[in-house]
Structure 1
Amino acid sequence: MIDIEKTIGNLIDKIGVSFIGSIDNEGFPNMKAMLPPRKREGIKHVYFTTNTSSMRVRQYKENPKASVYFCDTRFFKGVMLKGTMEVLEDNDSKEMIWREGDTMYYPLGITDPDYCVLKFTAHNGRFYSNFNSESFTID
């Protein structure tokens, strides 16, 4: 088996768009395109920025089950990770992934009440490459 964590980590680091999935109040999956993650800790923890007032944040607060999908369209490779999403609103988390220029989205800066961090924790996943899929667990 390939070094799945290294391969997937490289894929995540190179993509331009991420997709996150949540569950709505009727139990249906919802997908949303996002900017690439701001930070990752291996493939276990992946961090995104978003608006606190967003529909996705409300959904994750009601049901933390989540998925993320990363794909390399050039080589037709992809990985789906399943796990849970936490909504972090503490200053340490917000400072950890803040970048210059983020005031375009959050005009009040790091303390903007409409700025929060999504922390995804992966439990398992499925990797697709070269016409093959492989499921795996994440410790």
Structure 2
Amino acid sequence: MMRDAEKTIGNLIDKQGVSYIASISEDGFPNIKAMLPPRKRIGIKEFYFTTNTSSMRAAQYRKNPNASIYFCDKRFFRGVMLVGSMEVLEDSENKEMIWREGDTMYYPLGVTDPDYCVLKFVATSGRYYSNFKSETFEIN
């Protein structure tokens, strides 16, 4: 069992250059997509990503907020899946919070670009895999 889940998992997440997010399609199947790492995380409970407002993923989360995110450390063959819900945010406060210089490459109209939105993931539980063992944990 992990001594400090938040520290162990937080360290794993912070060292990854890729994150994976999963949504549910209209026909009920999971859809997984590789993304850049979260722009912001609060512990292992809240994660903020950028995406296009017009994206398939944003549309799927609006219809069904059930989601999971996954981080994998392939060097040490360990990973963590977090399960929870994803919200599509379009308010200026959240958009400005995670905006970075250079984002105009993706969102040419800047932080107010109508095709720029924030995905906020809130975890309720997780499953950590390391040393050929898995453990499930709740997130409060």
Question: In which range does the TM-score fall when normalised by the shorter chain?
Answer: over 0.9
| 2:71 equivalent in structure 1 | 70
Q: In structure 1, what is the equivalent of residue 42 of structure 2?
A: 41
List runs of 5+ in structure 2 lacking aligned partners: none
Mapped pair 1:24 → 2:25: yes
Q: What is the TM-score when the length of structure 2 is the normalising length?
A: 0.98
C-alpha deviation, 1:86, in angstroms = 0.3
Aligned residue for 1:125?
A: 126
Q: Determine the C-alpha separation between the residues in 1 that align with 2:93 and 2:13.
A: 24
Specify the SS of the correspondent of 2:75: coil
Report what 2:135 is aligned to: 134
Query: What percentage of aligned pairs have identical amino acids?
Result: 76
What's the offset of the Cα at 1:10?
0.6
Shift in Å at residue 70 of structure 1?
0.3
TM-score (norm 1): 0.99
Structure 1: gaps (5+ residues): none
Total equivalences in the alignment: 139
How far apart are 1:38 and its partner, in Å? 0.2
What is the Cα deviation at residue 112 of structure 1? Answer: 0.2
Which letter does structure 2 place at the counterpart of 1:16? G
Q: Which amino acid aligns with 1:84?
A: S
Which residue of structure 2 aligns with residue 15 of structure 1?
16
* Letter of the 1:129 counterpart: S
Q: CA deviation at 1:118?
A: 0.2
Deviation at 1:104, TM superposition (A): 0.3
* Alignment deviations for residues 56-106 of structure 1 (CA, whole Å, 9 cap, x no partner): 000000000000000111111100000000000000000000000000000
Structure 2 Cα separation of the partners of residues 63 and 83 of structure 1:
11
Alpha-carbon distance, 1:11 to partner: 0.8
Compute the RMSD of aligned alpha carbons.
0.5
**Partner AA of 2:65 in structure 1:** P
